[in-house]
Structure 1
Amino acid sequence: MTILSSPSQMPNPGLLKVSGPDAEKLLEGQITCHVAKITPQQGSLAAHCNPQGRIISLFYLFFLENNYYLLMPQNMLPAAMTALQKFAVFYKVTLSNASHEMACISYTDRTAIKRPMEKLATLRVAPHCARYLALGHPSLIETLHPDMDTLSAWNDRQLSDGIPSIYPETSEKFLPHELNLEHLGALSFEKGCFTGQEIIARMQYRGKLKKRLYQAWLTTNKPPQRGADIFNEDHQQMHVCGTLVDAACLHDSNYRLLIILNDAAASRPLFLDPEQQTTLIISGESP
């Protein structure tokens, strides 16, 4: 579990704002969390999936000043907006890039930001984490005197808590259960239908998951690429056994990874190349 001595501000956040009288209706029919339960004091991790149940975008959903804000990597905004816009045309809503309208901080000490709490949208990053995010106007966030994170430090904090992100190179590659989203509080099966629900519900109630999310370590002079294949050796042949989901540089040439692996592969030597030049070390199944 990550412990922060003071609030830490996210650098260069990507924020998609959904506003208008039909905003809740649009999102309820498209994304995986129960939008009707979202309040300024209770946001959620959520995904927007294609009809085959694969994740287009993964984000934190906030509600503030009668608008919904989807927090995601900055470079995911065009794909996320395009995917939602296909359905937004049937509703009284507006989609816009709000990345410069709001700022986001991460914190573990809730008493540290008690005074302006009523002016912030907040959420717990995952059910197993005692870490929170808060979204608010930059001028208000400045009064909390947060430390400014590097993007690597912010990403590493997410990965250490077992929370993946989706990027353009991994969009529409993964099913929600492969990224552990049911345990991260991002899936609701109490709400009505949403895009991809049939496939996702079948996995929840009748499917047997053959791939799982793991944390791993890697030392390399070549930055690992999200979406890259992971290999292992079986009967003297190299086979693809998984996918690199996300990576964060810790220091020098050391990286923390989140990877998806076939069940049988977790106990075998793993490599990022079929020539066995780059070895991964599994540190355990993601929470």
Structure 2
Amino acid sequence: MSDPTASAAPVAGSTADTPSAAPALVYPEPLPADEVEAYHDLRRDAAWFEAQNHWSSIQGPKAMDALNGLVTNDVSQLAVGMGQHAVALTPKGKVVCDMYIARITDDRFMLTVLRHCAPAWLDLARKYINPRLAKVADESDQWGTWMLYGSHAALAVANLGGASHTAENLGDLMADALNAWPVWSHGMWNIGPVSVRLIRAPVVGSLPGFVIMADARDADVVRARLEASTRRRASRAVWNIARIEGGRPAFGVDMDENTIPQEANLDTLGAISFTKGCYTGQETVARVHFRGHVNRHLRGLQATVPIPQFARVFDANGKDVGDVRSTVISPRLGPVAMAMIRREVSPGSVVRVHEGIEATVVELPFPE
């Protein structure tokens, strides 16, 4: 729990804003022509992606209580068939990973994280969850995962076809039903002869879409349906642009083990409950929210020339105020990036990146 006697002073995000050894700068490159088309498909229709998800489960009579004590969101409020965005923290309130949590039954939860985050998450869960109360299982080999996103994502899912119908006779009706699903909800759905779990996850800003979670034994069937569909397969580079435009931070790039979740805007993204009970790392998060503030935030940068990753950011007076994290060249917005910027630099400010690149600070997500 947060300490009511804690100081109201601002809370810094890390022990040092400047890295001890500056990495070599990396400049983004524009998308090839076919990937530009996939990007536009994503905005005007739909496109699908191979996902790099790692799945695990927590199951047992005390699964809800155990998980609720480990993550920032309120798992106790989840009904079966619903999910949420949440964050796992160190005892000092620094990010271990963020995740999607789905309540499958009263005593079974499925969780997905980026694959490179999985070892740290599983270590944390196994350290703090008593196996007599709930079992933590690595299910990474049991599931295949795809993402289908875009303005017409629901129709694209419906057009994959179920076991006993065609897209022509029920596609629009099924798309209407999918569009009515609440955000973060999940449920079973047929794709061809197999049953999958669909998750309506808002992970690229305002673009709607679904995560498709299939039994690994059915993966070839689902992949074949996607490849035979009229929607284009998009690359991870396209996904990365959509993620950045939508203001979604990625662990290992935009946030790391030195990041407090509010610095990465995870509070405004709905991943933190400020009314639930105790959880690992809560004291720092609560102190920031109720009695102080962080000294830096993830912000957008927009420029007319490519913005190099790892570059330092300077304000109008030449003061070092941050560093560039994710950076891309958007077919719609041009060169854009996410940067960790000191809080006194407000959106609309013009900053200098590296050796003279002028960029405008933008509040995330980037405007439509």
Q: Where on the TM-score scale, by shorter chain, does this alignment land: which range?
A: 0.7 to 0.9
C-alpha displacement of 1:85: 2.6
- Please give the alpha-carbon distance, in whole angstroms, between the structure 1 residues aligned to 2:46 and 2:204: 21
Q: 2:242 aligns with which of 157, 161, 177?
A: 157
Match status 1:131 vs 2:170? no
Larger radius of gyration: 2
Counterpart position of 2:194: none
Work out the CA distance in 1 between the residues paired with 2:311 and 2:79: 39
Question: How big is each residue's C-alpha offset from its partner over 1:47-94, in whole Å with a ceiling of 9 and x where there is no partner?
Answer: 11112222111222234574412132x322222222333213554312
CA deviations over 1:23-66 (Å, ceiling 9, x no partner): 43332111112223345643222111112222111222234574
Equivalences for residues 41-80 of structure 1 within 5 A: 41-64=81-104, 66-72=108-114, 74-80=115-121
Q: Is 2:299–2:341's contact at 8 Å kept on the other side of the alignment?
A: yes
CA contact (8 A) 2:264 2:298 kept: yes
Distance 1:80 1:186 in 2: 16
Give the one of 87, 110, 113 matched to 2:128.
87
SS of the residue aligned with 2:200?
strand
Task: Tell me the TM-score normalized by structure 1.
Answer: 0.78
- Which letter does structure 2 place at the counterpart of 1:61? I
Residue 238 of structure 2 aligns to a residue whose secondary structure is helix
Contact map agreement 1:43 1:123 (CA 8 A) in 2:
no
Contact 2:254 2:339 in 1 (8 A): no
1:8 aligns with 2:88: no
226, 236, 240: which one pairs with 2:320? 240
User: 1:102, 1:39 → 2: CA distance?
Assistant: 24
Q: Contact conserved, 2:300 with 2:362, CA < 8 A, in 1?
A: yes
Indicate the SS of the match to 2:188. Answer: helix
CA contact (8 A) 1:243 1:261 kept: yes
Structure 2: gaps spanning 5 or more residues: 1-41, 163-186, 190-196
Q: Runs of 5+ in structure 1 lacking a partner?
A: none
Q: Which residue of 2 aligns with 1:284?
A: 362
Q: Kindly state the Cα deviation for residue 99 of structure 1 after the two structures are TM-superposed.
A: 5.8
Contact 1:62 1:135 in 2 (8 A): no
Match of 1:231 among 313, 319, 333: 313
- Aligned equivalents of 1:136, 1:127: Cα separation in 2: 18
Tell whether the 8 Å contact from 1:79 to 1:168 is kept in structure 2 after alignment.
no
Q: In structure 1, how many angstroms separate the alpha carbons of the residues matched to 2:223 and 2:275? A: 35
| Aligned pair partner of 2:57 in 18, 31, 42 | 18
Is contact 1:156-1:250 (8 Å) kept?
yes
Partner of residue 118, structure 1: 188
1:103-252 matches, cutoff 5 A? 103-107=145-149, 108-109=151-152, 110-114=154-158, 118-119=188-189, 120-125=197-202, 129-137=206-214, 138=219, 139-140=221-222, 143=225, 145=229, 147-167=232-252, 170-217=255-302, 219-220=305-306, 224=309, 228=310, 230-232=312-314, 239-248=319-328, 250=330
CA apart distance, 1:261? 0.8
- Report the CA distance shift for 1:27/1:4 in structure 2 as closer, same or farther (over 3 A): farther
Contact 2:351 / 2:360 at 8 angstroms: preserved in 1? no
Distance across 2 between alignment mates of 1:40 and 1:255: 42
Q: Normalising by structure 2, what TM-score?
A: 0.63
How many pairs does the alignment contain? Answer: 272
State the 1:14 CA deviation. 2.6
SS of residue in 2 equivalent to 1:156: helix
Distance 1:155 1:249 in 2: 10
* CA displacement 1:132-173 (0-9 Å, x = unmatched): 332320344654546432111112111111111112794222
| Aligned partner letter, 1:270 | R
Aligned equivalents of 1:55, 1:243: Cα separation in 2: 18
Residue 239 of structure 1, CA deviation = 4.2
Structure having the larger proportion of residues in strand: 1
1:208 aligned partner, one-letter code: H
- Give, in whole Å, the separation in 2 of the partners of 1:86 and 1:55: 16
> What's the offset of the Cα at 1:283?
5.2
CA–CA distance in structure 2, aligned partners of residues 140 and 39 of structure 1 = 28
Deviation at 1:232, TM superposition (A): 1.1
Q: Any conservation in 1 of the 2:198–2:212 contact (CA below 8 Å)?
A: yes
Is residue 61–residue 71 contact of structure 1 (8 Å, CA) maintained in 2?
A: no
Report how far residue 103 of structure 1 moved: 0.8
